[in-house]
Chain A
Amino acid sequence: MDGLDLRVHEGEVLGFLGPNGAGKTTTMRMLVGLVRPTSGRIEVLGRPPGTPEQLARVGALIESPAFYPHLSGRDNLRLAARYAGVPERAADRVLAEVHLTDRAGSPFRTYSLGMKQRLGVAAALLKEPNLLILDEPTNGLDPAGVTDIRELLRALGRRGRTVLLSSHVLGEVEQICDRIVVIDAGRLVADGTPDELRGSLGQAVLVIDADPADRAADCLRGHDGVRSVELVDGRLRVTTDPALAATLNRRLVEAGIDVRELRPVRHSLEEAFLTLTAPARPPMAEERTGRQEPATTTGGLR
């Protein structure tokens, strides 16, 4: 990690993105005290990582779920409950939350990857933590399982739980997370809402199906706010502010051009992610973190 300054606001679901090897898992390990930073300071919920007071309020699933293979899912959770100092009956509650009650008595070694992942999420929920740290929680889950976990995370967010979620499934992050941070090579490269990240790529594109297309292109070139006009497969791709859509439509109609379709195409989060983490791109931490200064860090992570 290289000077990473990460703040998670209380009650938000924060997406934590980065390419392989960017340092996401290392960061998460540091947040629960499994790895110590060589320099700098970490506070989680106002406490240093790895202290009993901090761990009591944090649930974590980091990398692949690791449990005792000969113990059943329920016994693994009962064991974790003993260490955590929570009642062993909490195991059944969280097993039900991740829909694993039916196989709770089976040895962990007989679980599928998806079931192991569910058990990992269950273990993270065991302490009813204020902060959940989840590293690829839907890895290996079937579509129904992904939906279940997504709904569970949304519900946790609604209940005011703070969630730090790492995932390579950008659609999932986009749907669940209030805010996203992107790191690359151990450094923060972006921090904002999904819309802000998409918007960081610049103006969106309007796709216009007009007849005649070449006259429409000439008509729009030079219009205020239009940066470029391209003719692709018989349609115009106009790089501009989507708010100008109505104005441009009026101009084309007034010029006697038929407009059959006009729709804005927003940049995807994937495009934003790939651009932000492209090897040739210089770091953007300063320009992006500057406008995302949190209003408060009380009860958060810094």
Chain B
Amino acid sequence: MMAAVRAAWFADRKRPAVWTVTATWLALALVFGIGVPYLVHLALAGDPKEASSAESLLAAVLPGQLVPTGIGLFPLFGGAILVILGALVVGNEYRWGTWNLVFTQRPRRAQVMAGQAVVLCGLTLLIAVLTFALLALTTGALAAAEGRAADWPSAGRLAAAATGAWLICTAHAALGWFLAIAFRSATTAIAVGLIWTLVLENAVSALALALSPLTVVQKVLLAPSSGALAGALGARSQFDGGTPGVLESSNALVPTLVLLGYVLIMFAAGGWLAARRDVG
């Protein structure tokens, strides 16, 4: 098992797609989490009628709002990027035909797939931590530049937010990973995964506002659960002027269990399929 993990880490850390997707996500997080609100703040700052809006926009990019600003980015933007990452790390094995090489070395296929899943979980943890680290650096720098006090969140709250972000990332990456195995293709998995999470699940969420029976379905969907977890961890909902994808929620347990379920089911189903099907 450890051999499979070491090998999968070797392959993934040298895979350009991993770092391209990670860099793209970090850039998006900076632009949408900090850059855009701060630029709008600057644009409104000179207008006395918009003073309160400008002040709340500035507050959102200072250390005191690090947790809600950071976690709020993950359900919609982060989820989509992580579906792509999960699909790429396994889907390209089919495109390049490298399963022939990997599956004929020594470990059982189930061990190979478990190794891949472990490394993907490591990558998503890295992405969640890097995101909060980058946002912390930027908000700290902005606080210094604006002459504001750096009112940092507690370590426990920050750790909870990073863990929640990791879970959201891993659940989405696991979906992309499973779809790539199911379709034996990264591109099909990305297309289906994005349509599923961005279009279909959001459509169900929108319909649930009018059709109350759909709220039960909504609770077990990936994107709404991610939004609910982010809301429970302090992010403002999209209906409250917050980030798209975030839902108002006071309970983190249910969305956490749903997301954990996605992680376990997607990895187990993907591993089972890859181990069972013929290669070539």
A50 touches B101 (CB 8 A): no
Interface string of B136-171 (1 = CB under 8 A from A): 000000000000000000000000000000000000
Tell me the B75-128 residues at the A interface (CB within 8 Å).
96-109, 112
* A79 contacts partner chain B, Cβ-Cβ < 8 Å: yes
11 A-B residue pairs with Cβ-Cβ distance under 8 Å, sorted by A, are A29-B279, A29-B280, A34-B278, A50-B109, A52-B107, A52-B108, A58-B104, A66-B96, A79-B7, A82-B7, A83-B4
* B11 contacts partner chain A, Cβ-Cβ < 8 Å: yes
Q: Chain B, interface size: which category?
A: 20 to 34
Given contacts A35-B279, A70-B14, A71-B14, contact A51 B108 (CB under 8 A): yes
Provide the residues of chain B in CB contact with A67, threshold 8 Å: 96, 98, 101
* A98 contacts partner chain B, Cβ-Cβ < 8 Å: no
Interchain CA distance A203-B104 in the complex, whole Å: 44
Interchain CA distance A252-B88 in the complex, whole Å: 78
Residues of B within 8 A of A (CB): 3-4, 6-7, 10-11, 14-16, 96-109, 112, 278-280
B100 touches A85 (CB 8 A): no
Interface residue from B4, B7, B100 paired with A66 (Cβ < 8 Å): B100
Provide the residues of chain A in CB contact with B106, threshold 8 Å: 52, 55-56, 83-85, 127
**Residue of A at shortest CB range from B279?**
A34
Interchain CA distance A295-B20 in the complex, whole Å: 58
Rounded to whole Å, the gap between the CB of A19 and the closest CB of chain B is: 19
Interface residue from A29, A35, A64, A76 paired with B97 (Cβ < 8 Å): A64
A69 touches B96 (CB 8 A): yes
Tell me the A42-67 residues at the B interface (CB within 8 Å).
50-52, 55-56, 58, 60, 62-64, 66-67
B101 touches A78 (CB 8 A): no
Rounded to whole Å, the gap between the CB of B17 and the closest CB of chain A is: 9
B100 touches A63 (CB 8 A): yes
A68 touches B104 (CB 8 A): no
Rounded to whole Å, the gap between the CB of A37 and the closest CB of chain B is: 10
**Residue of A at shortest CB range from B6?**
A82
B103 touches A78 (CB 8 A): no
A70 touches B15 (CB 8 A): yes
Interchain CA distance A15-B220 in the complex, whole Å: 57
Interchain CA distance A136-B101 in the complex, whole Å: 16
Interchain CA distance A123-B106 in the complex, whole Å: 13
A35 touches B278 (CB 8 A): yes
Interchain CA distance A272-B97 in the complex, whole Å: 35
Interchain CA distance A50-B99 in the complex, whole Å: 13
Interchain CA distance A108-B112 in the complex, whole Å: 22
Provide the residues of chain A in CB contact with B102, threshold 8 Å: 80, 83
Interface residue from A70, A75, A83 paired with B3 (Cβ < 8 Å): A83
Interchain CA distance A295-B167 in the complex, whole Å: 60
B112 touches A34 (CB 8 A): no
Interchain CA distance A97-B123 in the complex, whole Å: 36
Find the residue from A56, A64, A68 having the highest chain B CB count within 10 A. A68
Interface residue from B6, B105, B278 paired with A55 (Cβ < 8 Å): B105
Rounded to whole Å, the gap between the CB of A280 and the closest CB of chain B is: 31
Smallest CB-CB A-B distances: 10 pairs: A66-B97, A83-B105, A82-B7, A84-B105, A34-B279, A83-B7, A35-B278, A32-B104, A84-B106, A85-B3
Interchain CA distance A85-B7 in the complex, whole Å: 10
Rounded to whole Å, the gap between the CB of A301 and the closest CB of chain B is: 15
Provide the residues of chain A in CB contact with B96, threshold 8 Å: 66-69
**Residue of B at shortest CB range from A84?**
B105
Given contacts A70-B16, A123-B101, contact A79 B107 (CB under 8 A): no
Tell me the A63-106 residues at the B interface (CB within 8 Å).
63-64, 66-71, 75-76, 78-80, 82-85
A34 touches B104 (CB 8 A): yes
Interchain CA distance A52-B105 in the complex, whole Å: 8
Interface residue from A34, A56, A71 paired with B280 (Cβ < 8 Å): A34
Provide the residues of chain B in CB contact with A60, threshold 8 Å: 104
Provide the residues of chain B in CB contact with A50, threshold 8 Å: 103, 108-109
Rounded to whole Å, the gap between the CB of A54 and the closest CB of chain B is: 9
* A36 contacts partner chain B, Cβ-Cβ < 8 Å: yes
* A33 contacts partner chain B, Cβ-Cβ < 8 Å: yes
Interchain CA distance A194-B189 in the complex, whole Å: 50
Interchain CA distance A66-B93 in the complex, whole Å: 10
Provide the residues of chain A in CB contact with B3, threshold 8 Å: 82-85
Rounded to whole Å, the gap between the CB of B56 and the closest CB of chain A is: 45
Provide the residues of chain B in CB contact with A64, threshold 8 Å: 97
Interchain CA distance A25-B97 in the complex, whole Å: 15
